[in-house]
Amino acid sequence: MKICRTIKEVKKEISRWKAAGETIGLVPTMGWLHEGHLSLIRNAKKGSDKVVVSIFVNPMQFGPGEDYDSYPRDLDRDAKLCKKKGVDLIFAPDVEEMYPEGFCSYVDMTALTGELCGKTRPIHFRGVQTVVNKLFNIVTPDNAYFGEKDAQQLAVIKRMVKDLNMNVKIMPCPIIREEDGLAKSSRNSYLSPEERRLAPIIHKALDMGRDMIKNGERDSGKVIKAISDMILSVGITRIDYVSIVDALSLKPVDRIEKDILCACAVYMGDSARLIDNFSLEI
Ligand code: AMP
């Protein structure tokens, strides 16, 4: 397994593979890998001849006061995990490599990013789109693997690829959870033992909301209130949002009549903001 720190090195390796007719799968990550990332890698191994994992904590997608500085980083640890899983190449650039002096081009969109996480993280998706675009241009993958855990990100990337006729197939991968239901996340490492004990309520509450809808409830407000009440009942005090949105437009719906995404973000303690969701076909 190669670890490349520069774009030039990656491009060299990619052109050798392409010349040999090999397909390439890309798994973009910010590192501190866990089972969620490893499941993306497993899917990539199944669907592509060569697997590239990018590890880059992208400053452009963090807002002021967010956890860019404290985000966990350990390339040696991540490299060991990737090697074990049969990854062919890690691309781990530094910030200057990705955004050299004078950098001033961005990719953005005028829909899909105004609700859910986009409301409290107004510059986040512009940063995500820009870095993913750069990664696609550098790695030129046939397939790129994204987790359904970041449902809004997945919708944004799919839309960007469609709108801009990008030559890559987006492969969604299911949410991987801890045994108690908590969605795996690099940010779970921020949780104190007490917060970790409470955190599975997020998934439990979403499951309860899903059951309400399956049992015929069509009033979004009632489902959102039930989910929020359940999360607050254990002593969690800060919910960023619980929303039910149209699965395609990501616009909030009052009545649940078409396919929906129900998503939430919850603050735990000073530093952790956890997200989770479910989608439902109606
Ligand atoms: P991150 O390193 O948090 O930027 O995540 C990199 C990729 O891994 C994104 O496509 C995420 O959606 C995906 N991912 C993170 N956690 C999970 C999880 N628990 N299950 C499935 N995919 C995940």
Q: Does ligand 1 lie within 6 Å of residue 4's CB atom?
A: no
Which atom of ligand 1 lies at the shortest distance from residue 30's CA? 2
Residue 45 lies in a domain: yes
CATH number of the domain encompassing residue 160: 3.40.50.620
The secondary structure of residue 255, as a DSSP letter, is: B
| Tokens 């992208």, residue located | 58
Which atom of ligand 1 lies at the shortest distance from residue 33's CA? 2
Band the pLDDT of 183: cuts 50, 70, 90.
very high
For residue range 126-177, list pLDDT tens digits in order: 999 999 999 999 999 999 999 999 999 999 999 999 999 999 999 999 999 9
Q: Does ligand 1 lie within 6 Å of residue 182's CB atom?
A: no
Query: How far, in whole angstroms, is CA 185 from its chain's centroid?
Result: 9
Average pLDDT, the chain: 98
Q: Does ligand 1 lie within 6 Å of residue 183's CB atom?
A: yes
- Residue ranges making up the domain that contains 79: 2-173
Q: Clarify whether residues 11 and 49 are in a common domain.
A: yes
Q: Does 189 score more than 90 pLDDT?
A: yes
Q: How large is the average pLDDT for residues 20-49?
A: 98
Q: Report the residue among 27, 29, 121, 154 best suited for mutation to probe ligand 1: largest number of ligand atoms under 8 A from its CB.
A: 29
Distances (CA, A) of 276 to 32, 77, 140, 203: 19, 26, 30, 7
Residue 57 lies in a domain: yes
37 is catalytic: yes
CATH number of the domain encompassing residue 208: 3.30.1300.10
For residue range 69-120, list pLDDT tens digits in order: 999 999 999 999 999 999 999 999 999 999 999 999 999 999 999 999 999 9
Among the three residues 110, 139, 173, which one is the final residue of a domain in this structure? 173
Strands laid side by side in the 50-55 sheet: 2-4, 89-91, 50-55, 24-29, 143-147, 169-173
Q: Does 52 score more than 90 pLDDT?
A: yes
Q: Clarify whether residues 94 and 212 are in a common domain.
A: no
Which atom of ligand 1 lies at the shortest distance from residue 27's CA? 7
Q: Which of these is catalytic: 34, 37, 124, 203?
A: 37
Residue 196 lies in a domain: yes
Q: For position 271, what pLDDT does the model report?
A: 79
Q: Clarify whether residues 24 and 152 are in a common domain.
A: yes
| Tokens 């309520």, residue located | 201
Q: Report the residue among 30, 52, 150, 206 best suited for mutation to probe ligand 1: largest number of ligand atoms under 8 A from its CB.
A: 150
For residue range 199-252, list pLDDT tens digits in order: 999 999 999 999 999 999 999 999 999 999 999 999 999 999 999 999 999 999
Q: Does ligand 1 lie within 6 Å of residue 78's CB atom?
A: no
Q: Clarify whether residues 158 and 213 are in a common domain.
A: no
Band the pLDDT of 269: cuts 50, 70, 90.
confident
Q: Clarify whether residues 169 and 196 are in a common domain.
A: no
Q: Clarify whether residues 194 and 114 are in a common domain.
A: no
For residue 118, the surrounding DSSP H or E stretch is: helix 117-120
Q: For position 270, what pLDDT does the model report?
A: 81
Q: Does ligand 1 lie within 6 Å of residue 170's CB atom?
A: no
Q: Clarify whether residues 117 and 152 are in a common domain.
A: yes
Q: Clarify whether residues 59 and 159 are in a common domain.
A: yes
Which atom of ligand 1 lies at the shortest distance from residue 185's CA? 16
pTM comes to: 0.98
Which positions ≥6 away from 37 have C-beta within 8 Å?
A: 27, 29, 53, 147
Tell the residue nearest (CA) to atom 15 of ligand 1: 36
Q: How large is the average pLDDT for residues 174-189?
A: 98
Q: Clarify whether residues 126 and 216 are in a common domain.
A: no
Q: Does ligand 1 lie within 6 Å of residue 176's CB atom?
A: yes
Torsion on CA atoms 57, 63, 66, 67, rounded to nearest 10: 10
**Looking at the 3D structure of the chain, how many domains does it have?**
2
Q: Clarify whether residues 111 and 241 are in a common domain.
A: no
Q: Where are the beta strands (DSSP E) in 43-137?
A: 50-55, 89-91
Q: Clarify whether residues 56 and 141 are in a common domain.
A: yes
